[in-house]
């Protein structure tokens, strides 16, 4: 028999503080400077925050929401709220006002912690937030906010004790909740338990995961309000990695400056940030030799981007997951038997979403629920289950459509090869069905974005009288570049079947994106609904 020790955020925090007290948390501040805390100093502030929240009436099971950027105060909430037995709710700052009202009311948040520059977004909806009892401004003062009975964060901490009597917790208790950035309908809530949070962070430290360790310096460009910060806010403290938080409104320039100045080894973000960083890196102004791996996920990575970053000496690690999987589910590390493969063959494997993390089970099934062959070409929907995979949405009848027979139905259409690597070919709602055959918009987009002069590209299906749907390419040229339709289509003709080639190309100023940087194809489909394709 083994000791029955619950896996909780408390135990992760205790280990991080006791083993790595001298390690550093760095936050980029609004004035461009940095705020620095040791883990030991951070631990005292976490204690004080837990005490302050308790004095505000927060009890176990109550929801405490954050509306904030990646900074040290947000990080303190990450650990204090869950470790005191309450439930952290990280609210996406880029949601529409109606969605903000919905999720804060749906989660029944009792306290809302708000970065001062984001106050106007909450002030505009405050009268509709029926459960929030306390608004706390993450600052030294309340900044004359219109919010009722607003409190300032730093005075609350100053009045609290530097120690907190942490309660005993059950590992099955809720620790945090995130809401999906839904493309249709209201966002859906996903609840993470202490056990799932602990195991997910542990997976990030595995060698075939992110391989985080004490010697690393981690920079999460991925927002702390999105999908658990990919587990980096927890794993960095647990494993003792220096943590660099980019603060408000970070961009590619700020990211590269922080990588250079803080000697970051593991930066993490979605492809859009790494695409926008390319010309800055090409300028040669930044020293980036500290980086051992760039973690990229959130959407498919164009192979051309892999090649570009390889030329910079900045290797990419492709990771995949969903809010429902905490989110890390797969990693695209090359296996030992691939060492002798050609560079092109290796690149093709790295561009896939990879193999399941230890602890994650996967299936790929067709519309009838039958598993598709693991041949790397047959399409099917990806199903997942595991100890950090959700089994329902929070108080939402849509659970029955997504969670069935103990599996999460991801909505991602993938192939699976004999080595266990999955490759997303589309979202179920984005795939183009032409004459009953599927066309992968992701494959087409990757090929188009490899063309000189193309900055971004999205492919959507538009109605066709004979074939049901046909692909339309929406292309953003690089600044100062003029492209023609033929310059986009001609390179595709040698790589894809004739019936895959888009029927037309439209040039747009930008590709709409979701709040977390993914292409928002729904907006393009609405914009080009009824688009008249040329006669073929």
pTM across the whole model? 0.85
Instruction: In whole angstroms, give the CA distance from residue 520 to residue 102.
Output: 21
Instruction: In whole angstroms, give the CA distance from residue 9 to residue 85.
Output: 10
In 406-465, at which residue ranges do the beta strands (DSSP E only) sit?
407-416, 422-427, 432-434, 437-439, 454-464
Closest CA to 508 of 531, 477, 483: 477
Domain ranges (residues) in the chain? 14-250, 432-527
Contact 228, 178 (CB under 8 A): yes
Catalytic residues: 180, 324, 433, 438
- Cα separations (Å) of 515 from 88, 295, 426, 531? 20, 19, 19, 27
Q: What is the pLDDT of residue 227?
A: 87
Report the residue count for the chain: 536
What dotted CATH number matches 432-527? 3.30.300.30
User: For helices 9-19 and 232-239, what crossing angle results, to 10°?
Assistant: 40
In the block, residue with structure tokens 């589910």: 329
Closest CA to 190 of 357, 383, 13, 327: 327
Q: What is the pLDDT of residue 39?
A: 98
159: Cα within 13 Å, side-chain hemisphere: 12
What is the C-alpha radius of gyration for the chain, rounded to an integer number of angstroms?
A: 23
Q: What is the pLDDT of residue 151?
A: 98
pLDDT, tens digit only, all 536 positions of the chain: 889 999 999 999 999 999 999 999 999 999 989 999 999 999 999 999 999 999 999 999 999 999 999 999 999 999 999 999 999 999 999 888 988 999 999 999 999 999 999 999 999 999 999 999 999 999 999 989 999 989 999 999 999 999 999 999 999 999 999 998 665 578 899 999 999 999 999 999 999 999 999 999 999 999 999 888 999 999 999 999 999 999 999 999 999 999 999 999 999 998 889 988 999 999 999 999 999 999 998 877 888 899 999 999 999 999 999 999 999 999 999 999 999 999 999 999 999 999 999 999 999 999 899 999 999 999 899 999 999 999 999 999 999 999 999 999 998 989 999 999 999 887 777 878 787 677 888 889 989 999 999 999 999 999 887 787 899 999 999 999 999 999 999 999 978 878 889 999 999 999 988 766 678 888 898 899 888 898 75
Which two tokens mark 73? 């105060």
Beta bridge partners of 371: 365
Contacts of 66 (CB under 8 A, 6+ apart): 74, 77, 88, 89, 90, 91, 112, 113, 114, 224, 225
Instruction: In whole angstroms, give the CA distance from residue 129 to residue 67.
Output: 14
Q: What is the pLDDT of residue 306?
A: 92
The backbone torsions φ and ψ at residue 362, rounded to the nearest 5 degrees and listed phi first, read -135, 150
Q: What is the pLDDT of residue 508?
A: 95
Instruction: In whole angstroms, give the CA distance from residue 335 to residue 421.
Output: 10
Instruction: In whole angstroms, give the CA distance from residue 463 to residue 469.
Output: 5
- Cα separations (Å) of 415 from 43, 163, 352, 363? 45, 52, 9, 10
Determine whether domain 14-250 maps to CATH 3.40.50.12780.
yes
Contact 250, 219 (CB under 8 A): no
Collapsing DSSP to helix, strand or coil, 358 comes out as coil
Which secondary structure element, helix H or strand E, spans residue 217, and what is its range?
strand 217-220
């Amino acid at each position: 028999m083994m000791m029955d020790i619950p896996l909780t955020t408390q135990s992760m925090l205790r280990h991080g503080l006791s083993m790595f007290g001298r390690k550093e948390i760095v936050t980029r501040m609004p004035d461009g400077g940095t705020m620095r805390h040791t883990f030991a100093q951070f631990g005292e502030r976490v204690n004080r925050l837990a005490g302050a929240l308790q004095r505000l009436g927060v009890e176990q099971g109550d929801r405490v929401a954050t509306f904030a950027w990646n900074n040290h105060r947000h990080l303190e909430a990450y650990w204090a709220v869950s470790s005191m037995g309450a439930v952290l709710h990280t609210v996406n700052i880029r949601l529409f006002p109606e969605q903000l009202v919905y999720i804060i009311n749906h989660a029944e948040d009792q306290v809302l912690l708000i970065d001062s520059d984001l106050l106007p977004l909450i002030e505009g909806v405050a009268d509709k937030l029926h459960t929030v009892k306390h608004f706390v401004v993450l600052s030294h003062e309340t900044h004359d906010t219109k919010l009722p009975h607003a409190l300032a964060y730093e005075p609350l901490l100053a009045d609290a004790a530097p120690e907190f009597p942490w309660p005993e917790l059950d590992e099955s208790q809720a620790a945090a909740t995130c809401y999906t950035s839904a493309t249709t309908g209201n966002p859906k809530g996903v609840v993470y338990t202490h056990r799932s949070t602990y195991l997910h962070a542990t997976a990030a430290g595995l060698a075939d995961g992110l391989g985080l360790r004490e010697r690393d310096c981690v920079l999460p460009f991925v927002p702390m309000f999105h999908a658990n910060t990919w587990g980096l806010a927890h794993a960095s403290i647990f494993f003792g990695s220096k943590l660099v938080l980019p603060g408000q409104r970070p961009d590619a320039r700020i990211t590269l400056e922080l990588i250079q100045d803080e000697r970051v080894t593991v930066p993490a973000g979605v492809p859009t940030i790494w695409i926008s960083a390319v010309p800055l890196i090409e300028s040669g102004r930044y020293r980036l030799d500290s980086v051992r791996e760039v973690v990229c996920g959130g959407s498919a990575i164009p192979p051309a981007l892999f090649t570009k970053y390889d030329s910079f000496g900045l290797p990419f690690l492709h990771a995949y997951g969903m809010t429902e999987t905490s989110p890390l589910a797969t990693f695209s590390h090359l296996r030992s038997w691939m060492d002798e493969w050609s560079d092109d063959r290796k690149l093709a494997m790295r561009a896939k979403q990879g193999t399941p993390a230890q602890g994650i089970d996967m299936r790929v099934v067709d519309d009838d629920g039958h598993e598709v062959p693991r041949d790397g070409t047959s399409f099917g929907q990806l199903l997942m289950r595991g100890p950090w995979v959700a089994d329902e949405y929070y108080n939402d009848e849509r659970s029955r459509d997504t969670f069935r027979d103990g599996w999460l139905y991801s909505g991602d259409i993938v192939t699976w090869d004999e080595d266990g690597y999955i490759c997303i070919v589309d979202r179920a709602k984005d795939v183009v069905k032409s004459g009953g055959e599927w066309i992968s918009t992701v494959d087409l987009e990757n090929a188009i974005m490899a063309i000189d002069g193309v900055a971004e590209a999205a492919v959507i299906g538009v109605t066709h009288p004979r074939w049901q749907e046909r692909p339309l390419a929406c292309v953003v040229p690089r600044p100062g570049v003029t492209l023609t339709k033929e310059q986009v289509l001609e390179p595709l003709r040698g790589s894809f079947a004739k019936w895959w080639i888009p029927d037309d190309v439209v040039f747009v100023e930008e590709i709409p994106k979701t709040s977390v940087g993914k292409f928002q194809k729904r907006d393009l489909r609405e914009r080009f609904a009824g688009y008249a394709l040329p006669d073929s």
